[in-house]
Amino acid sequence: MGSGSRPGTPGGTKAEATITKISSPSQLSIGCKAFFEKDSEIRQAEVLSIRDKAMRQNIQRTADDAPLDNSESKLEYEFYVHYLEFNKRLDEWVPDSRTRLDKPVTFPKKKNKAAHGGGQQTARDKKRKTNTGGSVATGTAPQTPEPVRHDDSAYTAPREVFSKEKEIEKLRTSGSMTQSTSEVARMKNLNLMEMGQFQIEPWYFSPYPIEYAYTPVLYICEFCLCYYANKTQYTRHRTKCTLQHPPGNEIYRKDDLSFFEIDGRRQRTYCRNLCLLSKCFLDHKTLYYDVDPFLFYILTQRDERGCHIIGYFSKEKESAENYNLACILTLPQYQRMGFGRVLMQFSYELSKAEGKVGSPEKPLSDLGLLSYRTFWSEMLVDLLVGYDGEISIDDLSQLTCFTVQDIMHALFSLDAIRYYHGQHCIVLSERVMEA
């Protein structure tokens, strides 16, 4: 871990912490853990940054610095905090008035400079070999077969840490996945975004130019995705913008929903703006300005004003690992409406049209893994329930265009794989059938 690592996190020498009470919020420092009021609750949070509320200037103070002298003037501070055991999207600036001085504060101590020993624990690779080519019986077995365990470490983020140079090289050669979570900026730089009739609060940091960041509202054209820091500039742009749909080919339409295919090489500006927008809501992936190797598929909803973007997914034009999806996003104003499933299903329809199996780029985020696991499970259960006879895992892969690994992962998550009479079989429980 480098000097920028969070206190109390594994790696390097473990830093000791002191717990004490304070009499003023000015005694807080970056890296300390204090209690703040949040939605009528008291939550512990880590202080990531401090700024003067009036001047909006950051005050970079650590635990080694002396408390600020606030005796002569009544300075007011704001603290950028991360609530412990809560998602990063809830990080926010809070005024010093929300600090609970009656609660103890945990201050990190400076780490001792000690030589690191060489005994790093090596991860053991335990894989179970499964016969995927043989026939697999569906239905309920007469006796309770032995359950089989499954390791899903391949679907989660790796533990190793990449340098910035290695990470960029990884992105250039194999897609858009950020491999090191410590490389992702920890502080949001946008307060509010206005897009059409919606006002959206960003979840994460996005690398918009500095002159557009930290403004009260960032105005985004919902058709060309150009961004403006001033309402007057945005209004002038809307009178001149003639675009009423994404600048690509409409390849699918049903009712008021349409899919547009956009080549990143031909529409660089639009695709870069789309990446900046999506980064506000995707913390685990970073698609850099090199959008040429990617195709973007935009899901839109049509009304009398035009086609409004709902979400999108991107994929590499040529993927060595046969990935059929790199990034996927449904905008917050359209979430919990089933559009994420539409995006995932369309990516597999493209794989069917190409005549090959596909899989999303891995490792997946926690929410991405949950969404895909649900999608795979539902599609497989629907297929197996209506299927009569024997079917192999390879047959399932050909019918669905899911990879064998993804099918096995979904079946293991359903606890549907059993070892019975010398072979693996699929057993769908009543709970799975009813769901």
Per DSSP bridges, beta strands 146-147 and 17-20 are unpaired
Question: Which positions are annotated as active-site residues?
Answer: 361
End-to-end CA distance of the chain: 44
CA 181 from chain centre, in angstroms, equals 11
d(CA 258, CA 298): 8
d(CA 238, CA 311): 21
d(CA 397, CA 379): 12
3-state secondary structure of 110: coil
Contacts of 212 (CB under 8 A, 6+ apart): 218, 227, 228, 229
Question: How far is it between the farthest Cα atoms of the chain?
Answer: 84
Helix (H) or strand (E) holding 433: helix 430-434
Count CB atoms within 10 A of the CB of residue 242.
6
DSSP class of residue 368?
A: H
Count CB atoms within 10 A of the CB of residue 93.
17
Give yes or no for a contact between 84 and 102, defined as CB atoms under 8 angstroms apart.
no
DSSP class of residue 153?
A: G
